[in-house]
Amino acid sequence: MALLNNIGALTQAFDQEMELDPRVVLYGEDAGFEGGVFRATKGLQEKYGKKRCFDTPLAEAGIVGSAIGMAIYGLKPVVEIQFSGFVLPAFNEIVAHAARYRNRTRGKYPLSMVIRMPYGGGIRALEHHSESIEALFAHIPGLKVVIPSTPYDTKGLMIAAIRDPDPVIFMEPKRIYRAFKQEVPEESYTVEIGKARIVQPGSDLTLVAWGAMVREAQKAIDLLADTEISVELIDLRTISPIDRDTLIQSVKKTGRFLVVHEAVSSFGPGAELISLITEEAFLSLEAPPTRLAGYDIPVPLPKGEHHFMITPKKIVSEIKRLIAY
């Protein structure tokens, strides 16, 4: 076991997969020599050489497009987009090709590749550095979208993503890159993509979150400690494909559903989850399934960002409202 934060967990996952599988290559802007602006790939160029871990020109379409070519050839590219806000030049490559190649070639050229990117707010950053755009990817058939919230899951999900036979969009909540540490097994292991994690069982309300919101949800539950309210907290971990069974079973037990996400509310992941619950657990519901999500605005710059942030207090307020419904 080693005590790692989310960055350390990523680095260890890359290191072990590169060691194990010579087809794994890792690249992106500043990702080689410097180890990335967040240092997730630090030390890997030194250990595996420039051939397997390198800097690219500043061009996201080139990064993702070339990864597609590599994956067609049979390599396993793991590419870094410096911030999710800068993946948009590569959107064409992701949507028009990465997501469709298996289908287009009737299975001849499936793309086993990982596109990873830091995302999310709460770090007092410049424009384009705070958005949560998981729904943009989750809406595209052919992509898997994974978001870890703990070092254990970060390592296990990244290894699973690298081994996955389909393209995986791996979104990293940068606000908690170094927020806390956790004991992580030294040896290699995977966490199954498409499986949510019940963080804490409960009987009155199902609370679903992912990424940095899991911690906020836990803080909210702590604030409820002196009440009778029993919350079941689920870390979704994979946005697409959704772990239907875990969610449906939970709501059948609790009768109430609250999803919390930083992504803007309209047409967001919460809408999809609420559809699922409404369709599959309708008769169990004791309150309207609800989302607590970002407002439909660009994330404000730091001086106004607090207006946008989802806080434990807001979560508590929604939980109480649904319990009293």
Ligand X SMILES: Cc1ncc(C[n+]2csc(CCOP(=O)(O)OP(=O)(O)O)c2C)c(N)n1
Residues lying near ligand X in the complex (CB under 6 A): 29, 58, 60, 82, 86, 89
223 scored as a contact of another protein (CB under 8 A): no
Q: How far is the CB of 47 from ligand X (least distance, A)?
A: 24
DSSP secondary structure string for all residues of 164-199: -SS-EEEEEEGGGSSS--EEE-SS-----TT--EEE
Pick the closer one to another protein by CB: 52 or 197.
52
Among ligand X, another protein, none, residue 17 binds (CB under 5-8 Å by kind): none
34 scored as a contact of another protein (CB under 8 A): yes
Pick the closer one to another protein by CB: 217 or 316.
316
Catalytic residue among 97, 128, 129, 307: 129
Residue from 100, 138, 134 nearest 119 by CA: 134
Residue from 175, 185, 240, 256 nearest 214 by CA: 175
Pick the closer one to another protein by CB: 6 or 112.
6
User: Exactly one of 125, 168, 220, 239 binds another protein (CB under 8 A); which one?
Assistant: 125
Query: In DSSP terms, which residues pair with 209 in a beta bridge?
Result: 235
User: Exactly one of 15, 86, 252, 312 binds another protein (CB under 8 A); which one?
Assistant: 86
Among another protein, ligand X, none, residue 308 binds (CB under 5-8 Å by kind): another protein
Burial environment of residue 230 by CB neighbours within 10 A (0 to 12, 13 to 18, 19 or more) = middle
308 scored as a contact of another protein (CB under 8 A): yes
Pick the closer one to ligand X by CB: 57 or 74.
57
188 scored as a contact of another protein (CB under 8 A): no
62 scored as a contact of another protein (CB under 8 A): yes
75 scored as a contact of another protein (CB under 8 A): no
Q: Where are the alpha helices (DSSP H) in the chain?
A: 6-20, 44-48, 60-73, 91-92, 101-104, 134-138, 151-163, 213-223, 244-254, 269-280, 302-308, 312-324
User: Exactly one of 75, 88, 95, 271 binds another protein (CB under 8 A); which one?
Assistant: 88
Tokens in use for 159?
């290894």
CB-nearest residue to ligand X = 86
Pick the closer one to ligand X by CB: 89 or 312.
89
Q: How far is the CB of 29 from ligand X (least distance, A)?
A: 5
Q: Where are the alpha helices (DSSP H) in 21-150?
A: 44-48, 60-73, 91-92, 101-104, 134-138
| Rounded Cα–Cα distance for residues 78 and 134 (Å) | 18
Among ligand X, another protein, none, residue 61 binds (CB under 5-8 Å by kind): another protein
Q: How far is the CB of 108 from another protein (least distance, A)?
A: 28
| Rounded Cα–Cα distance for residues 128 and 84 (Å) | 8
| Rounded Cα–Cα distance for residues 124 and 165 (Å) | 36
Query: In DSSP terms, which residues pair with 76 in a beta bridge?
Result: 24
User: Exactly one of 19, 192, 321, 325 binds another protein (CB under 8 A); which one?
Assistant: 321
Does the annotation mark 139 as catalytic? no
298 scored as a contact of another protein (CB under 8 A): yes
Pick the closer one to ligand X by CB: 83 or 101.
83
Residues near another protein (CB under 8 A): 29-30, 33-34, 37, 55, 57-59, 61-62, 85-86, 88-89, 124-129, 265-266, 295-298, 300-305, 307-308, 313-314, 316-317, 320-321
Q: Which residues are catalytic?
A: 129
